[in-house]
Protein backbone atom coordinates (compact mmCIF):
# COMPACT_ATOMS: atom_id res chain seq x y z
CA UNK A 1 0.00 0.00 0.00
CA UNK A 2 1.26 3.45 -0.94
CA UNK A 3 -1.05 5.14 1.57
CA UNK A 4 -1.52 8.82 0.70
CA UNK A 5 0.42 10.12 -2.30
CA UNK A 6 0.84 13.71 -3.46
CA UNK A 7 2.14 15.24 -6.65
CA UNK A 8 4.19 17.23 -7.32
CA UNK A 9 6.70 17.24 -4.47
CA UNK A 10 8.01 20.68 -5.32
CA UNK A 11 6.65 23.54 -7.42
CA UNK A 12 7.64 27.11 -8.14
CA UNK A 13 5.03 29.45 -9.57
CA UNK A 14 4.93 33.06 -10.58
CA UNK A 15 2.25 35.31 -9.14
CA UNK A 16 -0.97 34.86 -11.06
CA UNK A 17 -0.22 31.40 -12.39
CA UNK A 18 -2.55 28.52 -11.67
CA UNK A 19 -1.87 24.95 -10.70
CA UNK A 20 -3.50 21.86 -9.26
CA UNK A 21 -2.07 19.76 -6.44
CA UNK A 22 -3.01 16.12 -6.69
CA UNK A 23 -3.73 13.74 -3.84
CA UNK A 24 -4.70 10.08 -3.92
CA UNK A 25 -5.21 7.44 -1.26
CA UNK A 26 -5.45 3.68 -1.64
CA UNK A 27 -6.89 2.88 1.79
CA UNK A 28 -10.55 3.13 0.75
CA UNK A 29 -11.01 6.06 3.10
CA UNK A 30 -14.15 8.14 2.98
CA UNK A 31 -12.76 11.46 4.23
CA UNK A 32 -9.97 13.57 2.80
CA UNK A 33 -8.38 16.85 3.87
CA UNK A 34 -6.07 19.57 2.60
CA UNK A 35 -3.86 21.45 5.07
CA UNK A 36 -1.18 24.07 4.72
CA UNK A 37 1.80 24.25 7.03
CA UNK A 38 3.50 27.52 7.81
CA UNK A 39 6.30 28.10 10.33
CA UNK A 40 5.02 28.67 13.85
CA UNK A 41 1.40 28.15 12.86
CA UNK A 42 1.01 24.42 12.81
CA UNK A 43 -1.29 22.96 10.19
CA UNK A 44 -4.39 24.82 9.08
CA UNK A 45 -7.27 23.20 7.29
CA UNK A 46 -8.01 24.57 3.83
CA UNK A 47 -10.81 22.30 2.61
CA UNK A 48 -12.10 18.89 3.41
CA UNK A 49 -14.34 16.22 1.95
CA UNK A 50 -16.19 14.18 4.54
CA UNK A 51 -17.35 11.74 1.91
CA UNK A 52 -17.28 11.27 -1.84
CA UNK A 53 -19.33 13.96 -3.53
CA UNK A 54 -19.09 16.52 -0.72
CA UNK A 55 -16.60 19.29 -0.01
CA UNK A 56 -16.55 21.99 2.64
CA UNK A 57 -14.43 24.96 3.59
CA UNK A 58 -11.97 24.78 6.40
CA UNK A 59 -10.19 27.50 8.31
CA UNK A 60 -8.33 29.16 5.40
CA UNK A 61 -10.18 28.47 2.10
CA UNK A 62 -9.67 31.81 0.33
CA UNK A 63 -7.77 31.51 -2.94
CA UNK A 64 -8.31 27.76 -3.23
CA UNK A 65 -10.77 25.36 -4.79
CA UNK A 66 -11.06 21.62 -4.46
CA UNK A 67 -12.49 18.68 -6.34
CA UNK A 68 -13.29 15.27 -4.93
CA UNK A 69 -12.86 13.46 -8.22
CA UNK A 70 -13.78 10.06 -6.83
CA UNK A 71 -13.30 8.21 -3.57
CA UNK A 72 -9.54 7.97 -4.08
CA UNK A 73 -8.65 11.43 -5.33
CA UNK A 74 -8.95 14.92 -3.88
CA UNK A 75 -7.30 17.80 -5.73
CA UNK A 76 -6.50 21.34 -4.62
CA UNK A 77 -6.43 24.14 -7.16
CA UNK A 78 -4.87 27.56 -6.98
CA UNK A 79 -6.52 29.68 -9.67
CA UNK A 80 -4.27 32.73 -9.34
CA UNK A 81 -1.31 32.08 -7.09
CA UNK A 82 -0.13 34.73 -4.66
CA UNK A 83 3.09 34.92 -2.62
CA UNK A 84 0.99 34.42 0.54
CA UNK A 85 0.26 30.93 -0.72
CA UNK A 86 3.90 29.92 -0.42
CA UNK A 87 3.68 27.00 1.96
CA UNK A 88 3.90 23.27 2.37
CA UNK A 89 0.64 21.55 1.51
CA UNK A 90 -0.42 18.27 3.05
CA UNK A 91 -3.21 15.98 2.06
CA UNK A 92 -4.68 13.56 4.61
CA UNK A 93 -7.30 10.86 4.63
CA UNK A 94 -9.36 9.13 7.27
CA UNK A 95 -11.48 6.03 7.12
CA UNK A 96 -14.81 7.61 8.01
CA UNK A 97 -16.00 10.87 9.43
CA UNK A 98 -19.21 9.13 10.32
CA UNK A 99 -17.55 6.75 12.75
CA UNK A 100 -18.78 6.68 16.29
CA UNK A 101 -17.24 9.42 18.43
CA UNK A 102 -14.90 10.57 15.63
CA UNK A 103 -12.09 8.42 16.86
CA UNK A 104 -10.47 7.72 13.50
CA UNK A 105 -6.88 8.60 12.75
CA UNK A 106 -5.88 10.82 9.86
CA UNK A 107 -3.02 9.65 7.66
CA UNK A 108 -0.89 12.18 5.84
CA UNK A 109 0.87 12.36 2.51
CA UNK A 110 4.49 13.50 2.09
CA UNK A 111 3.57 17.07 1.19
CA UNK A 112 4.03 19.50 -1.67
CA UNK A 113 6.41 22.39 -1.15
CA UNK A 114 5.08 25.37 -3.11
CA UNK A 115 6.87 28.66 -3.70
CA UNK A 116 5.09 31.59 -5.33
CA UNK A 117 7.38 34.33 -6.58
Partner 1 sequence: AQSVAQPEDQVKVAEGNPLTVKCTYSVSGNPYLFWYVQYPNRGLQFLLKYITGDNLVKGSYGFEAEFNKSQTSFHLKKPSALVSDSALYFCAVRDIVTGNTGKLIFGQGTTLQVKP
Q: Which residues bind partner 1 (CB under 8 A)?
A: 4, 31, 33, 35, 40-45, 48, 50, 56, 58, 90, 92, 94, 96-99, 101-111
Closest alpha carbon to 17 in 79, 86, 77: 79
* Closest distance of CB 96 from partner 1, Å: 8
User: 17 or 52: whose CB is closer to partner 1?
Assistant: 52
Q: How far apart (Å, rounded) are the C-alpha atoms in residues 38 and 86?
A: 9
Rounded-to-integer distance, Cα 114 and Cα 117, Å: 10
Q: Smaller CB distance to partner 1: residue 40 or 53?
A: 40
Task: Pick between residue 44 and residue 71 the one whose CB is nearest to partner 1.
Answer: 44
Q: Report the sign of the C-alpha dihedral through residues 6, 86, 92, 19, in that order.
A: negative
Amino acid sequence: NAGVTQTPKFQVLKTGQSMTLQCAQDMNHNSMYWYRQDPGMGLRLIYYSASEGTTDKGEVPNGYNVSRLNKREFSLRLESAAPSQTSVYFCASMSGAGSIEGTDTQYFGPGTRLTVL
